[in-house]
Amino acid sequence: MDAFKLLIRSTNIQKTGPVSRKGPAAPTPSAGAPARTQNPLDNDDFLHMRETSECKGTKRKRCGQTRTEVDGVSGELDFFGDRARLSVLSEHTKKAKRDVPKSEQARIQKSEGFEEEVPEFDEVECRQILKRHKVKITILGQTCQVQQHHNNDSTRTGPQKRGGKKDMHTQIWPQPLTSFQQLRSRYGISRRLAANLDAQGYAEPTEVQLGSLPLLLGSDDDRGWRRKGARKSKSKKHPRPEVDLITIAPTGSGKTLGFMIHVLQGLLKERQATKKSVPEGMTKHQVQALIIAPTHELADQIVNEGKKMAAGTGIKILGLKKNMRLHPELAIVSEQVSGGTRDRSAHTNETLVNSDILVSTPLLLLHAISAKEFTPAPLPAIRFLVLDEADVLLDHLFREQTLAIWRACSNTSLRTSLWSATIGSSIESLAHSFILDRRRDLGLHLSPQLPPHHVIRLVVGLKDSAIPNISHRLIYAASEQGKLLALRQLLHPSTAPTTGAPSLQPPFLIFTQTISRAIALHSELLYDIPVEAGGSSRIAVLHSDLSDTARSKIMAGFRNGEIWILITTDLLSRGMDFRGMNGVLNYDIPNTGASYVHRVGRTGRQGREGGVAVTLYTKEDVPYVKNVANVISASERAKANQGREGEGGGEGVQKWLLEALPDVSKKTKKALKSRGVESRSVTVEHEGGREARRMRISTKSGYDRRLENKKKGAVGGSGRRRKQRDSDKADEDKAGSEWSGIDD
């Protein structure tokens, strides 16, 4: 199925200005820009690193010469090359704008299309555009008893039977957002928000933004909600349905901007509508939107993105920190506050920090809103709840915490949106039922005054699959020793026989199954990067056992190009947006197909070509590796449908291998998901045993290790003996010098 074909193809949408229905084809942002390595090392430098690693004696001079280049370049490392350029451009534009009178500015804006009334697409056009972009929008209906065998209504996408029951799902074709200008002209977003978006330099909405923003922002009538066959009523306007959205769109497709615009506009609209003067005793900012993400790193990234979009709007966005508490009235109470507005609560001595949007991990937030452990106080002011990486937030690890927060959001007009590149049917059902049950508990389903409510699923491309614009490689390395060897060959391809394998160029991420394995691999590779190229400072390990400060420092180092290779666990597999990332190496196979999709999705973002995803596997992994092979194969098929098979180093997984690999049973999948490959989870220190020793990450042979241990033992023993001798001598001296009276 050519699922992502249109993600990298041109569209019929004009790049700027008012949308023409018959406009020329233009590529969308996620349509795969030509390979562009923002990577500072830009290949030459990495080649230098390889050269220097091969440099011995005679080549010293050349190495020395290049060294200064490397040092020089390292100062210019800029993963966000485009962004820097854009910010310069936007500064330039801002300055130019300041010099133009306001009336003229308005005229220019209008001529640029910002204020232009954009004609609506008719139903056929909506369908064509959404289809071309592979955007499928479905109203999730309630489960009903099956009454007939054939369903002649073509708008029903089902029935999807579940034990004699079927889900009454209905596909719809609402107005797509074909240019950002329409956000203002059609959906009336704030001028400031539109300007902030403009300053980001995004030319056009990505597919997920094209589909989700009209649903979330919506106009006040039923435009775009016509279903196939429904009669158009020109005179009668219906209230726009309230929407809770479940969005499944590829990694790096711009979901963050989708929910951020929705939340910011929602808050700005409310602020404008009520034009509230702040009542006495109340704070100026009140948390009305919660964005939940599974890791601190992702939460920080969302805050950064949010701040850019919220600049100058008066809306505050804050990342929750450990030392903060959320008051039941939704003022954040903190003893040590860094930044933000400060107030003194009238009733307590606690310091209050005010914010409109709060970004947090589930546990941190639950802690902040719970007076006693896990009994969260109600959060009636919350009107927007965003679950980023919703599938992981609703999976067993975070489920209780996430649902507890969701339950605490007691506002009757709460709008919830769930976002991820992978949301399986069980998680979707769970979310759907939770939304319906919550409405039932609040009595909302009986209220005739309320507008209709829909739970909508939006899928972009082929659901739950890896992006096809990167090259996937599945490499058999037989054993742990083999994996280390393979990794070194990828790092220094000139030392390896030509295998046709894609080379892995920094910056890249290496994923391991456990923290201890990440640490072990880090110490093993520490000296693989030559001193001339920066040595051990170029490689780092990041995991959840490190302090928050250490984690932030490493993240900053990786983002600004000081660190080239980052070894980590699944901690960084979701949501992290590192621009210019050249590759991902799964040193240990991921536990699930979804985990593979997210890990490899750290490269090839925004449809960029040239990313490489390498997965090493050993004979221990053979029973499980089909999980990964299936995802790669689906991605390769998508590529083949685009006529791009063989690009980027040949087939990711050969057909014979796919057929030869054993299927993974449901039971095994479940065990793998919770524990990973069992033999890799045991450690020599704690559980000992041959198995653990075999899975250890080290190039040293058993013989060498024994020799080393003996040597260590001998050195230790000699040290102990020396100490003993010294202490005996000291005792003797002491005894000799003590006065023992006059001998008779």
Judged by the rule CB under 6 A, the positions of this chain that interact with ligand ATP are 29, 202, 205-206, 209, 249, 251-257, 421, 575, 577, 601, 605-606
Nearer to ligand ATP, 181 or 489 (CB): 181
Nearer to ligand ATP, 15 or 228 (CB): 15
Quickly list H helices, 576-623: 593-600
Nearer to ligand ATP, 202 or 476 (CB): 202
Q: Are 50 and 492 in contact (CB under 8 A)?
A: yes
Exposure string for 238-267, b = 16+ CB within 10 A, e = fewer? eebebbbbbbbbbbbbbbbbbbbbbbbbbb
Count of Cβ atoms closer than 10 Å to residue 269 Cβ:
15
Kindly write down the DSSP assignment for every residue of 53-77, as one continuous string: HH--GGGHHHHHHHHHHHHHHHTT-
Q: Are 211 and 255 in contact (CB under 8 A)?
A: no
Smallest gap from Cβ 574 to ligand ATP, in A, equals 6
Parallel, antiparallel or unpaired: strands 342-344 and 351-353: antiparallel
Nearer to ligand ATP, 255 or 457 (CB): 255
Smallest gap from Cβ 428 to ligand ATP, in A, equals 17
Residues in the chain: 744
Angstrom CA distances, 370 to 165, 364, 374, 482, stand at 39, 10, 6, 49
Smallest gap from Cβ 625 to ligand ATP, in A, equals 23
Quickly list H helices, 99-228: 102-112, 123-132, 181-185, 191-200, 207-217
Three-state secondary-structure class, residue 154: coil
Nearer to ligand ATP, 330 or 386 (CB): 386
Smallest gap from Cβ 77 to ligand ATP, in A, equals 17
Nearer to ligand ATP, 581 or 625 (CB): 581
Smallest gap from Cβ 249 to ligand ATP, in A, equals 6
Three-state secondary-structure class, residue 277: coil
Measure the N-to-C terminal CA separation of the chain; round to a whole number of Å.
109
Smallest gap from Cβ 576 to ligand ATP, in A, equals 7
Residue 298 φ/ψ, nearest 5 degrees: -70, -40
Nearer to ligand ATP, 421 or 653 (CB): 421
Nearer to ligand ATP, 316 or 608 (CB): 608
CA distance 603 to 468: 11
Nearer to ligand ATP, 480 or 577 (CB): 577
Nearer to ligand ATP, 168 or 456 (CB): 456
Smallest gap from Cβ 549 to ligand ATP, in A, equals 24
Residue 338 φ/ψ, nearest 5 degrees: -110, 115
Nearer to ligand ATP, 292 or 484 (CB): 292
Smallest gap from Cβ 247 to ligand ATP, in A, equals 9
Count of Cβ atoms closer than 10 Å to residue 544 Cβ:
13
CA distance 535 to 494: 19
Q: Are 29 and 14 in contact (CB under 8 A)?
A: no
CA distance 173 to 160: 20
Smallest gap from Cβ 467 to ligand ATP, in A, equals 9
Smallest gap from Cβ 205 to ligand ATP, in A, equals 5
CA distance 384 to 262: 9
Smallest gap from Cβ 351 to ligand ATP, in A, equals 33
Q: Are 414 and 456 in contact (CB under 8 A)?
A: no
Structure tokens at 688: 């000992």
Three-state secondary-structure class, residue 111: helix
